[in-house]
Structure 1
Amino acid sequence: MITTTSLKNNRTFIILFFFLLSFIGNAQIGIGTVTPNASAVLDITSTTQGMLAPRMTTAQRTAIASPADGLIVYDTDLKALYYYSSGSTSWVVVSSGINPRLNFKRIRSTDNLATVLATELAAGGGAKYVLNSNTLYEINGTVTFNFPIDLNNAYVHGLDSNDDIILRTSGNIFEGATGGSIRSLTIRAATGSVFNLNGAATQNLIFRDCIVANSASVGTISGFGLVFLSIINFSGNTNGITYNNISQLLLSNMGWFNNNAGTYEKLTGTFTLVEKQGGFSQVDGTAIGFDVSTSGLTITGDAVLESVVFTGTNTAGYVKGYTTGSYTGYNFNNSWNVRAAGIPTETDANAVGDFSMDYTVGSGLAVSFTNNLNPSNTVKVGSGTPLTTYSNLFRFSTDAANRLRYQGKKKRIFQIGGSISFQVPGAGTYIIYIAKNGTVISQYKIYGRGQILNDIVVLPLNATTELVNNDYIEVFAQRYTGANGDIVVPNMTITIK
């Protein structure tokens, strides 16, 4: 006898049977849907949840033995999905289809450096970390190094200079003879130096967008071909940095706060080019802002100090100037072009010099013409030791009586002005010249005539001429007409600017 219950069970069995036949025939599975897409073996449908792939570090991913072609994992170090391509026997990032740089390491604050930088420590003989050349090391958080770092032309970067920190509680941080790039970090050497670098002319160092704070010393950078520092905040350091024997030194927007001590920046040795632009140095107490006083400091090319603001209570410490080659009231020699708030401007464009020869009434300097011809020979006004005062000499000097010698480095055109008074031995006409390097500049000659014995002639002096380093200016006189005899010059002034 067939009951109603039996009929229902049979119907359920038949439906289940045909469902299983359909699943076997189509091999489709639907999760979250009863109608999986015909093209998919697995159709997962949801508007509130996603699919989570296996998650692992780069080291774990690359350690997978014999990965299947198309195997997918999520790399937690590189923050990307990767699939394995057996055709290229490599892992390929899913997000862009392009492999990220292989020479990359992220160092977290929680990492064991002996593990993460095992290769680098081995390369340094267990005494320092020799970074892999052309590799980017990302600092994530505060990373405390127990050994110094040899940059070895690698890149050490953070993402946020306030939060990504390199700390060494004892000893130096960066040591060695190689350069590299350091960027977007806070760096602190509590009892040592941030830098102890002695490189070669083929090495370059880039250091930018960083904070150097609370270090015993910023340190020394020596011997590099190029050193470029840009947008660096120095705060709370016991001593600053020394640059030595660098071909090209570029300093842009350095910020030295008044909680630093010692000498902020010091130059020693030989440089081809120095350019320090922008930024500020707040100098208090016994600190020194910029030190160029070391004997032997040489600039073979040019040096620029521009748009830097020197402030603070220790105005005498803004710049510790050259001990030789500078000028009274100034700090630098003629290799420098200086335009910075708080210190004197020093450029060849500001070169100036003057002298004034002045005798008491009734006396003067005798000028003798050594022939009896008219016109006579030209004679310098300034033999012997005349009563001449030289003043306002900036990039000018004097090495002979009534002479101004240009000491600037660059060629430029100067205006020369002044006056001369002379007493004549009788009626006659005289010519006064401005002379360059002992040769008169004839186009600027000026005539004067005395009418009688002891008549005084007063003439203005004006000229324009181009001077290069070591050229000099003097005044010459010539008798054009009249009887032989000395003229007497009681007063003469010259200004060159």
Structure 2
Amino acid sequence: MKKSLFIFCFLCFVISFAQVGIGTAMPDPSALLDISSSTQGMLAPRMTTTQRQAIVSPANGLLVYDTNDNSFFFYEGDSWSSLDPIKKRTNYKLVQSIADLSEELTAGSGSKYVLNTDFLYEINGTIIFDFPIDLNGAYIEGVDSSEDILVNNSSVSLFEGTSGGGLRNLTLSGNGKQLFDITGTATDLLLINNTVIAGASTVGTLSGLGTVFLSVTQYVSNADGLTIDNIDNFFVSNIFWSASNAGTFMRFTGTFENLQMNGGRIEAGTGETGIDVSSNPTIVNDATLAQLSFVGDGTLVNRYTTGSYTGYNFTKDWNVNCSGIPLEVDQNATANFYYNGTLTTGYTQPISNNTPVQLKSSSNFVASDLFRFAAQDNNNDLIYEGKKRRTVKVNVSLSVRVVNAAGDFYAFAIAKNGVIATETNSTVIINNDTQIQNVALTGVLTMQPGDRIEVFTNRLTGTGTDSVVIFSENLSVQ
């Protein structure tokens, strides 16, 4: 009996101080309990949220599985905490290697990566693509554009397809090849934000999309830029095309509903071009270039070949206020015409009644310095071509002689659309047939698109037929 009691006590002592191994004969020295299995796991107590919360005086570290929340909970201090507090995003994939996009390559039949629509792909590191990417309405983003890089190692463009998507916080490396070849529809949106675009043979072509928005994009060491074609709404904010690039930064072709570029710097060296509008793109509503700095000794703007004005680059559909290129806004509209005939003979305007008539000649009138104005009727009329109402100051100088009107009064005035602006009238009396009168007119007119400016005279007294000889006539609009 004593022997049995001794053995029992000895075993209790050993068990009290030994490690326990289940499924292993050699438990880890640091573990009191070491459970080892390649076919089974350890099952914690499972209960509902109500049952978990009903546990009386739970010990710190107590572990249960909540079947309502589908999560492990442990007790800490005075409350329960989930071991899975952060909910995972849906429609999300973390991409750390090209292998993470195997499903997308399968969707593209092994020849391209077709991304999932409305998915967010987070790039972590440098990902090298041997096949093009079809954005398919997906969004690709990095965290650090200097570290999260997409490299084009394909034989075609990095991005190809018929729909838009989004790119953010990335570097797009052309690796000597093209980056974009996207032709979409009016319902498609392409957003590119906080992205470096580098090393492309040509940045590429964006065509047919409903909206394109480029924000905070930097272009480095590209051999050529972008062709922007038939985009309904094209918006740019803070772009930087540096001297490390070559070719043409942006070519605009086709039709645009709205086009706005605001902020940034465009450098064009010898043989290079900043913006090219020589294909005469159509603007339906409005186009604006503002707060862009154009620098370099290259062609800063390859201008419109039709519809522009001498010394300017764009049509009346554009509002341009950028350093380095001419200011082009309605508020800057100017015009001038003048008589360029023989000063000693001038031209003659017959007067047969006391109704106001325009002073004009069928020849020898020259229009110059036209901006948002056009000259018509042998350059005797100036037509305002701006898109918005504006107020202009008009100055006129005349040297005239009136024959067969001794003792008569004549008025000279500026007219708008054939109606004399009364406040511009200047009246003279004719003393004899040899007297030459120098007349100065000035006035402020409010112009609507299509309004015209002319110079009129009106015989106030007298009858019969007179002849007004105009030796010089000059009209300027500011």
TM range (shorter): 0.7 to 0.9
State the secondary structure of the residue aligned to 1:284.
coil
Change (3 A) 1:102 1:356: same
* Structure 2 residue aligned with 1:320: 302
* Structure 1 residue aligned with 2:409: 429
TM-score, structure 2 normalization: 0.82
8 Å CA contact 1:225–1:246 kept in 2: the answer is yes
8 Å CA contact 2:152–2:175 kept in 1: the answer is yes
Counterpart Cα distance in 2 of 1:192 and 1:15: 76
Deviates more, 1:431-440 or 1:178-187: 431-440
Indicate whether 1:194 and 2:172 are aligned.
no
8 Å CA contact 1:356–1:492 kept in 2: the answer is yes
Counterpart Cα distance in 2 of 1:67 and 1:348: 77
* Structure 2 residue aligned with 1:77: none
Match of 2:262 among 277, 295, 298: 277
Counterpart Cα distance in 2 of 1:420 and 1:66: 105
Change (3 A) 1:363 1:305: same
Match of 2:326 among 344, 352, 356: 344
* Structure 2 residue aligned with 1:101: 89
User: 1:56-455 residue pairs with structure 2 within 5 A?
Assistant: 86-87=67-68, 94=82, 97-108=85-96, 111-113=97-99, 116-170=100-154, 171-295=156-280, 297-314=281-298, 317-357=299-339, 359-371=341-353, 376-385=354-363, 387-401=364-378, 402-425=380-403, 426-455=406-435
8 Å CA contact 1:217–1:241 kept in 2: the answer is yes
Change (3 A) 1:67 1:130: farther
Counterpart Cα distance in 1 of 2:264 and 2:203: 17
8 Å CA contact 2:226–2:251 kept in 1: the answer is yes
Per-residue deviation, residues 316-357 of structure 1 (Å, max 9, x unmatched): x11111011111111111111111111111111111001122
Counterpart Cα distance in 2 of 1:388 and 1:91: 92
User: 1:475-490 residue pairs with structure 2 within 5 A?
Assistant: 475-484=455-464, 485-490=466-471
Counterpart Cα distance in 1 of 2:102 and 2:145: 26
Change (3 A) 1:43 1:466: farther
Counterpart Cα distance in 2 of 1:193 and 1:84: 53
Change (3 A) 1:234 1:471: same
8 Å CA contact 1:358–1:490 kept in 2: the answer is no
Q: Which amino acid aligns with 1:496?
A: V
Counterpart Cα distance in 1 of 2:204 and 2:285: 25
Residue 440 of structure 1 and its aligned partner are, at CA, apart by 2.3
Q: Which amino acid aligns with 1:283?
A: A
Q: Which amino acid aligns with 2:198?
A: A
User: 1:39-54 residue pairs with structure 2 within 5 A?
Assistant: none
Identity of aligned residues (%): 36
Q: Which runs of 5+ in 1 are unaligned?
A: 21-41, 45-63, 71-82
Q: Which amino acid aligns with 1:192?
A: K
Residue 397 of structure 1 and its aligned partner are, at CA, apart by 1.7
Change (3 A) 1:125 1:65: farther
8 Å CA contact 2:352–2:463 kept in 1: the answer is no
State the secondary structure of the residue aligned to 1:493.
strand
State the secondary structure of the residue aligned to 1:118.
helix
Q: Which runs of 5+ in 2 are unaligned?
A: 18-30, 34-40, 48-63, 74-80
**How many residues end up aligned between the 2 structures?**
427
Residue 112 of structure 1 and its aligned partner are, at CA, apart by 4.6
Q: Which amino acid aligns with 2:337?
A: F
8 Å CA contact 2:343–2:472 kept in 1: the answer is no
Residue 467 of structure 1 and its aligned partner are, at CA, apart by 1.6
Change (3 A) 1:112 1:341: closer
TM-score, structure 1 normalization: 0.79
* Structure 2 residue aligned with 1:78: none
8 Å CA contact 2:183–2:209 kept in 1: the answer is yes
CA RMSD of aligned residues (A): 3.1
Counterpart Cα distance in 1 of 2:180 and 2:446: 46
Residue 118 of structure 1 and its aligned partner are, at CA, apart by 2.8
Residue 105 of structure 1 and its aligned partner are, at CA, apart by 0.8
State the secondary structure of the residue aligned to 1:192.
coil
8 Å CA contact 1:222–1:245 kept in 2: the answer is yes
8 Å CA contact 1:238–1:261 kept in 2: the answer is yes
User: 1:26-37 residue pairs with structure 2 within 5 A?
Assistant: none
